[in-house]
Amino acid sequence: MRFGRLAEHQIRKAEAEGQLKNLKGAGKPLPRDTASGSADAVGFRIMSENGAVPEEITLRKAVEQQRAVLQQTTDPAQHRREMRKLSDMQLRLAIQEEARRRFY
């Protein structure tokens, strides 16, 4: 299925389920100037404002939190466990990012 058709299908599905009712900014054009300027950033922002955070964003936040945990760890055995967790999260994030790139 092509991206345009898939996007249209997802929009129609969300409309049928009532997920697009009473959204902030409904009926207004999207802002032309964004901080990052990317279409992905605009899409992620809109989803975030409406409570639909993509797995990719959730994983990015988890990776940052895990890095902070890893920096605080002093025990070598615990450090290895935390490093494994970080590696797993980074792998899952890379898979999500690659899936998005291939999808678009």
Note the pTM of the prediction, 2 decimals. 0.54
What does the pLDDT look like over 16-39, one tens digit per residue?
A: 888 777 777 777 776 665 455 567
Tally of residues, the chain? 104
Instruction: Mention every residue, 6+ apart, whose C-beta is less than 8 A from residue 69.
Output: 82
How far, in Å, are 16, 31, 43, 72, 95 from residue 98 at the CA level?
A: 30, 27, 17, 30, 5
What does the pLDDT look like over 44-76, one tens digit per residue?
A: 778 777 877 778 888 999 999 999 999 999 999
User: According to DSSP H, which parts of the chain are helical?
Assistant: 3-16, 39-49, 55-72, 76-103
Under 8 Å between Cβ of 70 and 82? yes
